[in-house]
Chain A
């Protein structure tokens, strides 16, 4: 969705890879539709478009794409990723070992290494379907791949295998861009991008916890309007129970404003709702008073923290301590 530059850069690299028989590209309602003639003249490329989607939804988009794919093995690659020459999908080490009905365990290997590689995977189609694919209740950036991985592990009782980092090439891009908040590097924008990302990460974890996905879960259905052109079947969109929606929405709102403006949740909860509203269509409405607070009150509150941390570093001989525990979520 609207990642034309990435796709046009990676599609020729996928075409140059010799191990596949089909490359399904789904245009998830990009503002400017992708055209077949922009893509490599490779007969293995199949371009489909889903119309009418207002927001990026990785889980629904990939469930649709896998359902359309014809192969019994699926390599999921984002628009900014491609398989390198080293990628060998036939390597036996990519299969699970446990007791399976076939002669060999199914393929199940996830990317490893930095820059979004962890979200790419090679899997036996049957195994993907046995866990119901991606959890379509998750929205926006984060946890979709970990949720899938956790359910695969729960089903198989085994850890998925790893694709070595050098098997997958990735176009580097920042957190803010990944969270669909623009690519600005300014302090406030970086803070906003991180806050947006944290908000969806937490909300998606809560949704996954409350609504564990599985093969019985009802997925979105699509109808074909014209050859290669699909649209969501009205009424088929899965929705969490209202109480769960409210909890996830609350957590998203608290996390975004709490992180962005450095206001603790216990205070945000009692402050006027309209000053810290929820996101609209995934976009956070940052007003002048938020910016004013960010540049004034937030910086003021940060002063004693910075002084304490700085003083501690001085006492420790100027070396910055590494993060003390796992504060990096994705």
Chain B
């Protein structure tokens, strides 16, 4: 089989049901493997297009979104010699011609905004040289950059860019990306919550990648088939960081989230009772009434002089900040 398109979905039914027909209409693949990563309401085959190239598998028992593990599982189940990652909110367009691209290079990565960055087209053997995704990373962010870095720096591969028009993306906000409701006009707190969640996940995954570089020989999670098309991870096979590193990263994640959300510097946050600024529970930050109260009062008060001073940025010189 030539090209397998691989999509992993956890509670993104609306996106998937919108993109799956577009993938089915695309003529260049031999298989579209969709993995339902323990969505609360399981995906059903009959909801998807009647395209015989579609294979639906489900991984049971997962409580958190783990794109690295989910895609490693999906890619290992795919049958093609060429592999293409397409998230549930993405679909390939007719501008994407895999034959021509693979004749020119073995690895192509998404470019342009709105989630195109994480998509790729790659030869299976090339992906296996770096062991796929780093399974120590969890939640949103950095698994795609980590993979690219290992392909480029460790393997010395040149990665070609997939042009922006090669991939269609359903636009969505930071909050939605973090599994939270979209913030409407005037819902600054909700927007801030999405940003803080994203930043904390982004930082934690960078730290994890620094502590646990991934490679071809790193042991991956293993899964057992509980029923046809239904899989479950073997718990003992999960890669786990050392308690010391896990503590460091949990601390950094907690500091980053509350510092960004409440605008309290982490040098003070570290001294505050952990009950007031706790760790997330099952990946969800527990925002209480006192956090909201502080956000609407103390935070806004502290922000006043900052806002006034920020108006002088132009006067005092403002080199570009990284995004």
* Number of residues on chain A facing chain B (CB within 8 A): 51
Is the beta-carbon distance between A262 and B251 smaller than 8 angstroms? no
| Chain A positions 210 through 254: 1 when the CB is less than 8 Å from some CB of chain B, otherwise 0 | 111110110000000000000000000000000100110110000
The answer to whether A208 touches B210 (Cβ under 8 A) is yes
Q: Is B144 an interface residue when CB atoms closer than 8 A count as contact?
A: no
A329, B260: Cα distance in complex, Å: 20
When the two chains form the complex, which single residue of A216, A267, A309, A325 contacts B254, counting CB atoms closer than 8 Å? A325
A269 interfacial by beta-carbon distance below 8 Å: yes
Between A147, A214, A327, the greatest number of chain B beta carbons within 10 A of the residue's beta carbon is seen for: A327
Given A273-B317, A325-B250, A329-B248, does the pair A217, B153 have CB atoms closer than 8 Å?
yes
Give every chain B residue within 8 A of A271 (Cβ-Cβ). 306, 309-310, 313
**Most-contacted residue by chain A among B150, B154, B212, B250 (CB, 10 A):** B154
A214 to B216, CA, bound (A): 13
Interface members, chain A 299-314 (any B CB < 8 Å): 301-302, 305, 308-309, 312
Shortest CB–CB separation between residue A309 and chain B, in angstroms?
5
Contact (Cβ within 8 A) B155 A272: no
- Is the pair A326, B321 in contact by a Cβ cutoff of 8 Å? no
The interface stretch among A87-95, A103-111, A148-156, A172-180 is A148-156
Contact A305 B210 (CB under 8 A): no
B303: nearest residue on chain A (CB-CB)? Answer: A267
* Distance A193 CA – B319 CA, assembled complex (angstroms): 26
What residues of chain B lie closer than 8 Å to A214, measured between beta carbons? 153-154
Contact A270-B145, Cβ < 8 Å, known A211-B153, A275-B316: no
What residues on A are CB-neighbors of B290 within 8 Å? none
Taken together as a complex, chains A and B put the C-alpha atoms of A327 and B248 apart, in Å, by 6
Taking a contact as CB atoms under 8 Å apart, the answer to whether B267 and A262 are in contact is yes
Determine the chain A residues whose CB is within 8 A of the CB of B211 once the complex forms: 146, 150, 205
Residue among B270, B313, B319 making CB contact with A327, cutoff 8 Å: B270
Known: A217-B153, A325-B247. A258 touches B267 (CB 8 A): yes
Is B268 interfacial (CB-CB < 8 Å)? yes
Q: How far apart sit A258 and B260, CA to CA, in the bound complex (Å)?
A: 12
Q: Are the C-beta atoms of A326 and B209 separated by less than 8 Å?
A: no
Q: How far is the CB of A129 from chain B (nearest CB, A)?
A: 15
Contacts of A319 in B (CB 8 A): none
Q: How far is the CA of A136 from the CA of B133 in the complex (A)?
A: 24
**Residue of A whose beta carbon sits closest to that of B214:** A154
Q: Which residues of A contact B149 (CB under 8 A)?
A: 209-212
Chain A interface: which of B120-128, B175-183, B224-232, B271-279?
A: B271-279
Instruction: Tell me if A266 and B263 are in contact (CB < 8 A).
Output: yes
B148 CB to nearest chain A CB (Å):
10
| Per-position binary interface string of chain B over residues 298-323, scored 1 when its CB falls under 8 Å from any chain A CB and 0 otherwise | 00001100110110110111110110
Whether B210 contacts A209 by the Cβ 8 Å rule is yes
Interface residue? A196 (CB, 8 A): no
Interface residues of B (CB under 8 A from A): 142, 145-146, 149-150, 153-156, 206-207, 209-215, 217-219, 244, 246-248, 250-251, 254, 259-260, 263-268, 270-274, 302-303, 306-307, 309-310, 312-313, 315-319, 321-322
